[in-house]
Chains A and B, each alone.
Chain A
Amino acid sequence: MHKTMTPLIGMQALRGSRGPTRREVLGGMLAASTASLGLPRMARAADARISYVGWEGYDSAFTAGGFLEQNGAELDATYIAATEDIITRLRSGGMGTVDITSFNHLYNPLMGEAGLIAPVKTDQMTNFDKLLPQFRDMATEADGTCYGIPLTFSSCALLYNPAMVSAAPTSWKDFLAPEYKGKVALFSDALTNILVWAPVATGVADPTRLTKAQLDETVDLLITLKKEHVRAMPASLGDGAELLIQGEVAMIMGWEPMVIWCREKGVEVSIAKPEEGTWAFVDTLNIATDAPNADLDLSLIDHAISADAQAEFGNANLLGIVNAEAVGQLSPELQELYGFDNLDAYFEHAHIYPRMFPLEPEGDFVTYDQVLDGYDRFLRA
């Protein structure tokens, strides 16, 4: 029974590039269950119903500032537990009914090529030019077509409790130090683990292009970590924060908002900058192919990256934002957390990779399926 009724508050956060919002983790089990059952929220009659399939919390960018009301529109939100849920939804009759999705940018070229999402006409947007340069460039970097407008960013941060370490970690390899045996945690997401640990294991610059040997090396390192060093693989990001708060671990593969969650529980944790860098999560908003309200959808996305909506979104979700004009409206805490004073430095450390692992064989590189097989090998070991 609990399979369907109280699912996976945890697992929900593990897939894809993003964790649950605080509401979800700390109280919103009901919301989480509705989300994973895929039930749309109740809504009143309206001229247009915009169907959003994506992460919970992101809809706060839509609802900010009364845009929906002014346009006689209402939002039907279906929350996902994993990025793959969006694909499943679109593949199983979602096209023609779904308006907006929230793919991680890595997926965008593939999803666009597969015909699941439509190109976004950036020239018809009023706020596109206000994006921070990193995101403006990124929107078109894959093949010149823009399949998604960046909404938010964050990264897989190495968090540590200064009280429990002898020195600030300087490398992900510090996870392997005897001193921290049984005092570190990985979070159990396939993509994140591979993209963060492949550079550590092999020195590869773009971990989305791995050879079979590199993948095996990465998985072997992960298995060593799991078997000999890791105390737990938290089932959600909120769960990971709990491990830090309760002093179960000294270091964790984490996420920036955890810093604030821990602070609220009276535990100060710091972000280390390991020399291998890390993976930057950039989530985008996309318009699904055959979206019923395509024009309104574009306006709504335009609204979501407006300065006011961005500020409200960032402060509510404790996440990085993409609109340059909104930065000043973020809480100082957030401005510091995401290093807005030197964003170039942030992204020099947290890498944005242009596209996903290949889906079909591509030269010597392993396919996404092979990567997931490798990750399964790690889980089984």
Chain B
Amino acid sequence: MAAASLLELRGLTRRYGTMTAVQPIDLAIRENDFFAILGPSGCGKTTLLRMIGGFVQPSDGYVLIGGRDVTRLPPDKRPTGMVFQNYGLFSHMTVRQNVAYGLRLRRRPRAEIGAEVERMLDLVHLSPYADRPAKDLSGGQKQRVALARALILKPKVLLLDEPLAALDLQLRKAMHQELLAIHEAIGGTFILVSHDQTEVMTLANRVAVMSGGRVAQEGSPTEIYDRPADPFVARFIGDANLLPARRTGGVILLGDGAPPIPSPGADAAVDVMLRPEALRLVAGHGSGLRAYIEQVVFQGSHVRVHCLAKQAGGAEMRVTATLGRDVLPAGSGQGAAVSITWAEGAPLVLPAGA
């Protein structure tokens, strides 16, 4: 894998005074990856991206692109292109001038620039707006100009810094499709920074989840969803029930009626992760974790059912299940007794944590 990687970060670190924004990070990103860096705000993801782009000098470590050390190069000397969250359009220029700017700096022949710009505007569906002043566009249009402006230079690595954060939900969804189509059409390595897990799941083929300046987990979206490395990742990616329990003699008992979960290892406190959509409810207290319905929340295509159950130790815990509307057991109003069941292999045992 190392041989195929296009971008390599080695011990990349950034400190501000005594505060460390980015802990030493090692990452390898392969050619043609749509790589996402996901994390809550303040986790250091934007700083990491800016170090790759050359806008922030690392305190330590290296950035290698195609095997070449670019750590000390200014942005204009790096084979990277950036799409900024607030676009950064040249407001005194037209759409066309914005897109053409990089090529003009490279002194390409006029005809070639014209053709390339047309191609790019076409790609982002902005041809009709080519000669409008950039400042007169809507948010979504501006973001597409920014994309075209970065893409026209055929960067080896395209850096996307929360590019869609300022757009409304509908527009964002549409842009997701366009981004995918563009990645499909022109290839190249995209690195997306986002705090939106849906966006990351939709777009990326590889994800690094960041927390507190370090990479908590790296993998494909399904790996991260299905096998989160710790409770933080589990909670950050999708919904998760994290049920506190204890492993005793290689077995975990969640509570009354729950089937024992085999878990090799020393006796310890653990968190058992169960995704809400992996749970089924059966009316009455039969086989399965015994619980009472606390609240049913209608969510359109599905319902969320919040239940209260008892831990093995006797303390109460809340368990949430997501069900299709039609699979909700009859008579399951508030206070109804239910049994919660899951498929064997659904529970994931994580070390107890935050």
Determine direct contact between A and B, CB below 8 Å: no
| Chain B residues within 8 Å of A, Cβ to Cβ | none
